[in-house]
Structure formats: structure tokens, C-alpha cells
Chains A and B, each alone.
Chain A
């Protein structure tokens, strides 16, 4: 997908060309809107929604004053992001509870959307919140569908009512309600068979089941990978049944999930939960801003900028810079830099905020969250004297430091080498710029980066 790598990368290309301009021209906007349109379409946002959205964004972007710290491209990205969050967000997304004390949640969806797994996940989530849920499957079509639900229910010790031999879904539904009441459960989750909205017979079955169980909460399960049809699917179910909201599944995949935007914009109904894995507890609350970033494939650049500025201690940074200039950068200063970096959150979080990284998710095994901790521990195991004068670090001292910090001598050596290189680099740097200018890239330059 090299062609459509991610919106922010594209917009950065465009804005690179307009660096130095204080205003965004009509032509720039037009070019950017084209990229935005493509990015949204590649993310499977419905075409009609894209058209409306791009028109709005274009209007908002015209004549935008460029803020001091942001480039015009970022400014536009911000507008896009805000527009998306606007559509994706607001409305209360809490699950409805029946005032009668007996809540029925009914799940609908196309074949293979993930209804059965989601039903079990919801039941476990409610159980953890102190509810007493029961599960039932009225899927009389897919072989072993009911058994699948029963196995999942058993694995988390939640009652489940199934009738694998019964072919009448309405009958099973009626019996399930009776059973749930008999067991004094306060919530019944009804898993239905997957169906297409154009299948009138199957849609009629849903209505018949609905009459019997009288659902409090009618939720459509939507696969995050779904394409342009998302809107018609949502509208189809909503028209026939009257949905209360949506659950997005398979968000642990790398699909952008543009369907979330489409169905929010077209139906106005809330997204209540998201599913993010195959494990039975992989169900989460839904955050509009995260979804927006995901759809744009941009990584959360804005949060990253905000996080960096909010967390960096300006005074400390200025001090370190001052020392650098005077060539007094010590291990002590390196340590305080590690601490600054740590403040920005886990490396994985920070990396995922970088554009182009967002959805690609670096495999966990490639990230060493503890690298900074270990480096910091090594410095902390040094005496004050050693920190200010690393020249005295002979073999026996290094051995002691390794033992003290729970690392190896090799790691200690590597850190000291890193420090020396940073120092060397900074020496050249301070020679180059006499005092003036912006904060240099202190210890985290290419060679100085501790991981």
C-alpha cells in the first residue's frame, strides 16, 4: 500500500513544498483535499460521507492562519482530525439497562462479523461489573453455532441456554427468557444468526424473535474490515429493527475501520464498545479520538506534540543545553534526559503516535521498554564522582556498576560509549553554533539513542 501510506505523510509532502508560507493557498487546499479524499476512501469510509466531509474540511481550511508552532499541513490534519472526532464522538455510549430490572441485549450482524464471540465477551464484561448475565443462541442456521457460544460461556462460567436440535429460533428465544428469569439473571444476551439485510425472510425472523424477547438494547456487530457497504448494512438493520448502537469488532487487525465514521455519520447512533482480540476479555470502551487517528492512519501526532511539550521541563532542558555549550555535559545530565523521555509514556505508545507507524504496530518483541530503565539504573549505580568524571571508570568500577544495576559489563560499556559519542557530537555542535538557536537534539540523536 505504498501508494496511500497514510494521510499525514502525504500532507507532509505537500506542506514541505509550502514551507515558509504564512497562508495556505486555494491550490494547496485543493491538493490536500484530494489526498484527504483518497485517504478516507482507502480507509473504507463511505463515498457519500467522504464527499460531505471533504467539503466541510475544505471550507474550514480556507484562509487558516498558521499557528506559531504548527506547519500548515499539520493545521489541516488537525482540522480533519477534529471533524472526524466530531462525527465519531459525543453521544452517551453506555449500555442501556431496563428499568424493569431484566435487560435483554440482542446482537445482529452479517455472517462472520463476530457476533458469537462478542456475545460471550459482553457477558463476561457484565459479570465483572457485578451483573448476572445469561447467554443464549438463536442461531439455528450455522452448524455448531450454538455449541460455540456454549463452550465460550462455560469457559467463563456464565449460564447459557441452547437447543441445538430445535429449528425454531422464536421458540428457543421464548424458552431462554423463561430460563433467565428462573435463574434470576438480570441480563440476557441473545446471539442471532448472521444474515444479509437483503434476505427478507431472515430479517422477518429477527422481528419475530424481537417480539418474544423484547430487547432493551439492539446492537449491530460491525466487522472493522467492512467496505463501502457498511452504510447500507447499518441502514438496512436500522430500518427493519431500529438499532440502539454498534459494536466494532476485529479492531486488533490493521484495517483502518472507516466504517465507524460512515455509520456514525449516516445513522447518528452511538458506537458502544469495540473488540480488540480473540481472547474473551478483549472488549473495550470506545474512544472517538483514537478511532479518528486510526482512520486517518496518522498516528496521534497532535497528542505526541502536546505530550512532548507538556512533559519536557523547559528549565532542565535549558540547563542541559547550557552545559553542552560549555562542554560540561555529564552522565548526570544524561540521566535526567532519560527521565524526561520516560515521562512521555511507554516507547510503544510514543512510537504508535508517530506518523506512518500508527496501524502498522511494531511487533512487541522488537520494543525493549526496559532499555531506558536499564540505562538509568547503570548511571544510578555510579558514584557522584564517576558521573561527573567517567574517565575514572576502570574495569573494576565497571564490574561493580554492572552488579549494582543488575546489568552486564557489556551494557555498562555500551552506555559509556554512547555517552562519549554524544559528548563528541555535542562538542562539534557547540562549536558550530555559538550560543544562539534552538534546542539541539540532546542525547537522543541517532547515535545517542539508548535503544
Chain B
């Protein structure tokens, strides 16, 4: 490796480490804030539901949310070391965690006012990209998709005689 290649590598590592860590911390903060705001809207993976007493279903609609998140240069390098030695690949764990939580938050944002989200499913897929041609190194970008059925209720007003 000549010296300019080494310099580029070091610069990319430093950039990935500093900017990547800052971006991740910021993202986690924003995820936690939004999750706290939407805490009172339950999501369940089961499909059966009993309509509560005195309520009527107003609307049921499918809601989806998705996010494509990529990891940084530094973490990708760490992961490639992990692939050599084996063990827990922590840098990719946080990537998938962020993608899934972001997808769930976006799904909830579509279901404003809904009492419950039934039958939620999460789908994760690897996104191909046009960079790193032929190297097949794995992009390190994942898409998480969350979808479910949001149910809105109406109060049944007692009939006045």
C-alpha cells in the first residue's frame, strides 16, 4: 500500500468514527424522545381483539413504516475484524436496532389516534448499492419495515328515549 492510500484510509476511519458516533448518538436520543411520547399506544403481535364495552370500531386500516439505515466506515472495519475472529458483532447490532425502532416509530406516526395496532410484523432486508462494485463486501445498510393494522374506536352514545 502506498502512502496516499494509507492517508485516505486513516482519514476515512477518523471521519467514520467521529461523524458516525455523533450521528448515532443523536439518532438514539431522538428515537428515545419519540418513543416516550408515543408510549400509550400499544402494539401487539396477536391478531384477535375484543371490542371494549361501550365502544364501536370506527376504522381499521393498515399502517406501515420503514427506514433504511447505514453504518459508518469505522464500524464496518470493526465488523470485518469480527468476521475474522468471530464473536458478537456489536457494531451491527446497534444498526439493526436503530432501523427497527425507527420503522416502528414511523408506523405509529401513521396511526395517530388509533387505540391499538394489531398483528404487527417486522421485515428486515439488506439493500444492494451501486458502490463497492464486485467486491461483495456487504454494504452495511439495512431496511426495516414494520406493518400492522391500526384500529380506531368510537364511543357509542346511549340512546335517549
Partners in one complex: no
A interface, CB within 8 angstroms of B = none
